[in-house]
Amino acid sequence: YQQNPKTYTIVKQLLAEGNAGELQKYFGSRMEFGTAGLRAAMGAGISHMNDLTIIQTTQGFCRYLEKNFSDLKKRGVVIGFDARAHLSSGGSSKRFARLAANTFISQGVPVYLFSDIIPTPFVPYTVTHLKLCAGIMVTASHNPKQDNGYKVYWENGAQIISPHDKGISQAIEENQEPWPQAWDDKLIDSSPLLHDPYAMVNKEYFKDIQKQCFYRNINKETNLKFVHTSVHGVGHKFVQLAFKAFDLSPPFAVPEQKDPDPDFPTVKYPNPEEGKGVLTLSFALAEKDGARIILANDPDADRLAVAEKQESGEWKVFSGNELGALLGWWIFTCWKNNSRDTRAIKDVYMLSSTVSSKILRAIALKEGFHFEETLTGFKWMGNRAKQLMDQGKAVLFAFEEAIGYMCCPAVLDKDGVSAAVITAEMASFLATRNLSLSQQLKAVYDEYGFHITKASYFICHDPKVIQQLFDNLRNFDGKNTYPKSCGRFKVSGIRDLTTGYDSSQPDQKAILPTSKSSQMITFTFANGGVATMRTSGTEPKIKYYSELCAPPGNSDVEQLKKELDELVNALEKHFFQPEKNKLQRKTE
């Protein structure tokens, strides 16, 4: 029974060789459907992304939506895809998107299927704009080239949160037998239920982001030059259009990386978070064309990295926290000076995740608006933003340290396209004041207090060791006692979002939702330092995030950096114990 000759051949070959180990890997366990949807390598078997697992997942999702929406057949869903493809198994984002569309259409559900590749934020945008029941984006973002993913949005335009993941997961289990004609995706082309939102969204999205354009005259005149790279992904065309929408001259595109290529030939990992390695070609083009600023999107264009050439001739790559500080300052300043928004400052909000810098909190305290922190990930920020907006509040900005920014209320998720063009306008405005981005960042810290951050991770493939490491922290000086110090640094507070304990609350119960399935402990130190240790949902890593927040006026940055370095060294030595636990360090 072969619907996909390529995966069929792979499995037949393994059977012929009697390769039980590999077969176990392919068929031993089904991919887990979580709040991030699916993320796995493309290939044969139920542990991989392929035609069959996409059909099964979509059948489950469709049944779950039918249960939750009586008007599903009236409203419908949107489906988008990136440019990923996998020759040996025949899988590609486009093929998976068409199979998913076919599944919904077979049940009488209207599908808005993009006819071409798009940035991930276009899916949540379309859900909101057309008031649809749900959205699916087929992408693996910045993962290695063999991977793909299936990301799900709810009717509120934000990524799903629990309990939807459990409900969908169970519905997938109950709908594994492919429905008749499940494989015949040609059926959709003649169906009256198939719509293509591509032209409409390309018009409306760029109209909507212009509400964040405040200095058109400066944009027209600026002689600042920008380089843009889409790192072999989908971003090129859309960032060019965004610049046009803001009346900025188009950025120079890195020629070797501007067209989509599922092999990502010029980079080891297509992840701009990795910093300078991914930007090598951008630096070269910027030097050649005399550009001072580089804007880099990840392959599905929902993240943004920014680099700026310094007076010294060196390039500075901004961290996610530094760009978050700049964008937060800029978006608030634009709101204050230009906004026709009549809402009082007490109805203005900004959000960031609990492992991101607390710089927005410092700005909010001084300026009088609200700051809230959420759990890690944009699913939490998107859902919280929607709740606040439904209460009549203005959510101006949200960000996470993993270079994700939500600058525009029309998209309740991170969006690297609007973030790129808003950063370009900010830089153009600052240039008229003879300020660079780096100089303005220092000015933000001077005004609101320095926030120095440092994050890294250890790799650990043994879940038992990870469990033991966190158990040890919870029973540090005897049973049920957390550490009172870390080397010379005194611990002043502890929040454990695995168990729900928070020493700073009157009833010692954490306010943020807790999750027993993942590890996360935050330590506050007497010197103003904060450090969070957590496990990753998608990789075999134990991550840590640390920050030293100084009050305004303390401008000895070198001293603060030294203090944070010592705190991080103590954290690694006493809490991670890499030698004892055989942890592998992040290699730069």
Residues 307, 296 contacting (CB under 8 angstroms): yes
Where does 175-264 have alpha helices with state H?
Answer: 198-209, 216-221, 236-245
| CA quadruple 387, 303, 365, 556: dihedral, nearest 10 | 160
Residues 401, 353 contacting (CB under 8 angstroms): yes
Burial degree of 186 (CB within 10 A; 0-12, 13-18, 19+): exposed
Structure tokens at 53: 């697992």
DSSP letter for each residue of 4-31: SHHHHHHHHHHHHHT-HHHHHHHHSSPP
For residue 214, give the nearest of 436, 431, 413, 428 by alpha carbon. Answer: 428
Element (H, E) at 547: strand 541-549
User: What's the farthest any 2 CA atoms get from each other in the chain?
Assistant: 72
Structure tokens at 113: 């299927």
**Between vectors from CA 52 to CA 48 and to CA 54, what angle results, nearest 5°?**
75
Distance (Å, whole) CA 455 – CA 453: 7
End-to-end CA distance of the chain: 47
Query: 193-212 as b/e, with b when 16 or more CB fall inside 10 Å?
Result: bbbebbeebbebbbebbbeb
Q: Return the amino acid letter for 425.
A: E
Structure tokens at 554: 């303390």
- Measure Cα distances from 156 to 133, 389, 513 in Å: 8, 11, 20
Residues designated as active site: 141
